[in-house]
Amino acid sequence: MLMDMFYGATEGVIKHRRRFHFHEAMLEIHDHMHDVWKRRDDGKSMESSAFSWISGLPFDAKIKEWLIGEEKYKQDKHQKHILLAVADKFLVDRQANKCGASILCFDEIQTIDVFAIVALSGILSRLLSTGTVLVATSNKAPEDLNQDGMQREIFLELLSKLDETCNKILVGTETDYRRLIPTDGSTQIHYYWPTNPETRSMFEAMWHDITNQTGGNITAVTIPVMFGRSIEIPQSCSGVARFDFEYLCGRPVGAADYIAIARNYHTIFISDLPAMSMKIRDKARRFITLIDEMYNHHCRLICLATLPIDNLFQGTEEGPLFDLERVKLLNVVLNNLGHCYLRHHLVRNNRNNNNPVF
């Protein structure tokens, strides 16, 4: 909420500003890296001809060898600093407005894997060094983000840069205001459990009621995803989609697919949510990513599950599935997905779904 207020207050005041959620930022970084690598590969195809041109110069062999060495050094240096080239993609167009400020708002910084640590360290360090103003949120203090100790040296460099350039502010209270959103019969989230004939009948009735309101023409469609991919929506009806848990989380899909779904659908039905445990850890992580993106894009969730929300994420003899703080937060998000939709769906209906909703 504070990030929403801050970013909204900069509209019309700060010309160059961008806002990302963690998953969207990582996908854009991947996209920029792909472009850099592609240009590098194209350059390699020209390398031999360029070196042949140097070889044809009327110079001493040692001079030509030195020139070729210089060119190779430049190429190697560029390859080693690919993250700097990617970071520059996030900078403002200085020529368009040399006096313009640059603000990067970054929601929910995470270090879920080695790539995230390396990418965030290289890119954020570069941006902060160029004067970009970083406003970021996280569920943990910066020093607690990498509790698994991955790429510790690189992570410590990032912490040092953040300490040098940023103020850390703890926003904490015993009251979780997300649980205090007013509810009435039209705003309550529909989370049906346990999975039995009665709750399944109620889930089906809700599906037919909402799809009838939107025209009732249910079809299978395919929507585009980043990097030239696409995903099939088995049941789609004018901004409403339906899936089962296995289809969304039991296959090799990820944040890019979930963002595409969230941008194209304001209401999403998910059936047959199982208990999340270490036995289905990968599926559970995909589900958390899915819920994150639905929440960020103000979608409405209607689901049928085996357990109540507070018991959906279970620990086992192998240990807890995720840290307790993350589970509590996810439960709150699940509880409030319906309200997010009702507050924002009128705005979304007037937007082009091909553009990101920040």
State how far the Cα of 238 lies from the Cα of 211, in Å rounded to an integer. Answer: 8
Q: What is the pLDDT of residue 148?
A: 79
Structure tokens at 325: 């703080």
CA 267-321-148 angle, to 5 degrees, is 115
State how far the Cα of 118 lies from the Cα of 136, in Å rounded to an integer. Answer: 18
State how far the Cα of 34 lies from the Cα of 43, in Å rounded to an integer. Answer: 14
Structure tokens at 178: 């997300």
Q: Which amino acid is at 169?
A: I
CA 39-43-45 angle, to 5 degrees, is 120
State how far the Cα of 256 lies from the Cα of 28, in Å rounded to an integer. Answer: 10
Cis peptide before 182 (omega within 30 of 0): no
Q: Over its length of 358 residues, how does the chain's per-residue pLDDT go in tens digits?
A: 788 889 989 888 887 788 888 888 888 888 877 777 776 665 555 455 555 656 666 666 666 666 666 666 555 555 556 777 777 777 654 445 544 447 888 888 888 778 888 888 888 888 888 888 899 998 888 898 887 788 888 889 889 989 999 999 988 776 666 566 545 444 445 889 999 999 999 999 999 999 999 888 999 999 999 878 999 999 999 999 999 999 999 999 999 999 999 999 999 999 999 988 888 888 988 998 898 888 888 898 999 999 888 788 775 555 555 554 455 556 555 665 644 443 333 333 433 343 332 2
Q: Spell out the residues 6+ positions from residue 265 whose beta carbon is closer than 8 angstroms to its own.
A: 233, 236, 239, 240, 241, 299
Structure tokens at 30: 């991947």
| Cα pseudo-dihedral 16, 21, 26, 30, rounded to 10 | -50
State how far the Cα of 273 lies from the Cα of 291, in Å rounded to an integer. Answer: 13
Contact 117, 123 (CB under 8 A): no
Q: What is the pLDDT of residue 259?
A: 93
Ordered by start, the domain boundaries in the chain are 2-165, 180-349
Which among 261, 198, 214, 252 has a CA at the least distance from the CA of 234? 261
Q: What is the pLDDT of residue 177?
A: 61
Contact 268, 239 (CB under 8 A): no
Q: What is the pLDDT of residue 213?
A: 92
